[in-house]
A and B are shown apart, each in its own frame.
Chain A
């Protein structure tokens, strides 16, 4: 069978996400047999959309057939000659990926992130204190953005005075997935954009910062994660400056933008589903489930792409070697075959089967999942302990992107608690 061909909507077009995840369109796609072919556009050749959870998990867990390394993990095409220059471990397949990932995996295990809990709670408390004192404001810039960047920077060893710069640069990386434009020469960039992650000059800024950090730590190791990474060896060799910079960029982006999205969407759920959070307040054993439900609804990363290494068949659709296969987490997380009343917000959902917002399993499962869970858990429990009640003070301003489900601004008023 061949896949179904549809003209609309173009899932690669950032405008498709102007009002958030296009749930109705995804629901239609999930109901179609096989995979759905999204035709080519200005960003490159067409791709197969994987919208159902079972199919997504099958792709995610089979890196031999669906490679992260062969093409690119975003929809747009990357020229062959610059692929290796741009690649970080997220763009690699096992076994190389496995060796790189093991360099830092121990810093992000559930056991290890327990050690960060007091730091996280401290950051949550101080941000909520300021927010309450001001009577509200922009939840994103006051709460959702600074907490995760503070936490990941602490873990990596980036000083407090540079946190705002990290927020600014990673915001610009996201713009690389939208229609917004940054001056190609920003951050002193002189390289062609196609050589830079997210095609963004901000990636140059991040890279320069990382190169400096590496040099400083090789001269004066401080015991932080950046020092460990500078001296760590893979197969007897240290990471090159470029490899180090890619690692840095991946951690600073993934450890910040994603949790920020989930924390931003959390505020909306606190308003819309106050009764669900009342349940959590009276039964704290539901806290973990509330975290998962926030993450499922947020689906902070809308998709990752794989490229077929061989001719294969998925969901009855023939996929040719070299074709793009896109896993839409933002669709699979609302798959009615797995989630009863998928659009509902329910802290009583069973743990298994879970959502795929951290990935569908396999080698690329979100490195920071335990950290993100702990941050969200700390924020929710602090909000509930304070009896904090919010009311929207304007419509949310969403990030224009086909890649992240971000919120740019979310004005909220504090109406109770403190």
Chain B
């Protein structure tokens, strides 16, 4: 898992489109109650893939946690 990073979802920006959950079902899960995306506890993604998921969130709600472990 070289270059694995943590991600976070801005709960005010997320409008529950679910693109993230479709791309990375192991990492993102839309909450059954409020429909908003949450990062699964402890889940990480390879940095390049994380960057793609960030880019493809239509509501720009996902970001990489920059102090996440690099390695």
The reply to whether chain A is a binding partner of chain B is: yes
Docked CA distance A105–B21 (Å): 14
Beta-carbon contacts of A363-392 to B below 8 Å, as 1s and 0s? 101010110000000000000000000000
With an 8 A cutoff between CB atoms, is A188 at the interface?
no
A-side interface size class: 20 to 34
Q: Cβ of A361 and Cβ of B12 under 8 Å apart?
A: no
Rounded to whole Å, the gap between the CB of B38 and the closest CB of chain A is 13
The interface size of chain B toward A, counting residues with CB under 8 Å, comes to 20
The answer to whether B35 has its CB under 8 Å from any CB of chain A is yes
Check B58–A109 contact: CB distance below 8 A.
no
- For residue A106, CB closer than 8 A to chain B, the reply is yes
Q: Is A98 an interface residue (CB 8 A)?
A: yes
State A95–B12 Cα separation when bound (angstroms).
8
Partner of B18, one of A94, A109, A363: A109
A100 to chain B: closest CB distance in Å? 10
The verdict on B40 contacting chain A, using a C-beta distance below 8 Å, is: no
How near does chain A come to B11, taking the closest CB pair, in angstroms? Answer: 10
> Given A110-B21, A111-B30, A370-B22, A105–B60 Cβ distance below 8 Å?
no
> Contacts of A95 on B, CB cut-off 8 Å?
12
Contact among A94, A105, A358, A362 with B16 in the assembled complex (CB-CB below 8 Å): A105
Contact of B55 with A363 in the complex, beta carbons under 8 Å? no
A281 at the interface (CB under 8 A from B): no
Q: From residue A354, how far is it (CB to closest CB) to chain B in Å? A: 8
Asked if A134 is at the interface of the complex by the 8 Å CB criterion, the answer is no
A369 and B17 contact, CB distance less than 8 A: yes
B18 near A111: Cβ-Cβ < 8 Å: yes
Q: Does B19 interact with chain A (Cβ within 8 Å)? A: yes
Q: Is the CB of A106 within 8 A of B35?
A: yes
> Which residues on the B side are within 8 Å of A112 (C-beta)?
18
Contact bitstring A128-163, B, C-beta under 8 A = 1, else 0? 000000000000000000000000000000000000
Q: A61 vs B17: C-alpha distance in the bound complex, in angstroms?
A: 15
Q: Is the CB of A98 within 8 A of B15?
A: yes
Contacts of A61 in B (CB 8 A): 60
| Cα of A361 to Cα of B57 in the assembled complex, Å | 8
Other-chain residue from A102, A109, A352 in contact with B21 (beta carbon distance below 8 A):
A109
For B12, the chain A residues whose CB sits under 8 A away are 94-95, 98
Decide if A406 is an interface residue (CB 8 Å cutoff).
Answer: no
Classify the interface of chain A: helix, strand, loop or mixed.
loop
Interface string of B31-56 (1 = CB under 8 A from A): 01011100000000000000010011
**Chain B residues positioned under 8 Å from A109 (CB to CB):** 16-18, 21, 30, 35
With A106-B35, A109-B35, A111-B30: A361-B59 Cβ-Cβ less than 8 Å: yes
Task: Confirm or deny: A255 has a beta carbon within 8 angstroms of a beta carbon on chain B.
Answer: no
Which of A102, A110, A111, A358 is B34 in contact with, Cβ under 8 Å?
A102
Please indicate the chain B residues that have their CB under 8 angstroms from the CB of A108 in the complex.
Answer: 18
- CB < 8 Å neighbour of A111 from B22, B58, B59, B60: B22
Q: B58, A361: Cβ atoms under 8 Å?
A: yes
| A359 within 8 Å of B (CB atoms) | yes
Whether A365 contacts B36 in the complex (CB less than 8 A), given A106-B30, A110-B22, A111-B30, comes out as no
Q: Which residues of A contact B (CB under 8 A)?
A: 61, 94-95, 98, 101-102, 105-106, 108-112, 352, 354, 358-359, 361-363, 365, 367, 369-370
**Given contacts A106-B16, A109-B35, A110-B21, could you give 19 more A-B pairs where the C-beta distance is less than 8 Å?**
A95-B12, A102-B15, A102-B16, A105-B35, A106-B30, A106-B35, A109-B16, A109-B18, A352-B55, A352-B56, A354-B56, A358-B58, A359-B58, A362-B58, A362-B59, A363-B15, A365-B58, A365-B59, A370-B17
- Closest 10 A-B residue pairs measured CB to CB? A109-B18, A105-B16, A365-B58, A106-B35, A110-B22, A361-B58, A110-B18, A105-B35, A101-B15, A102-B35
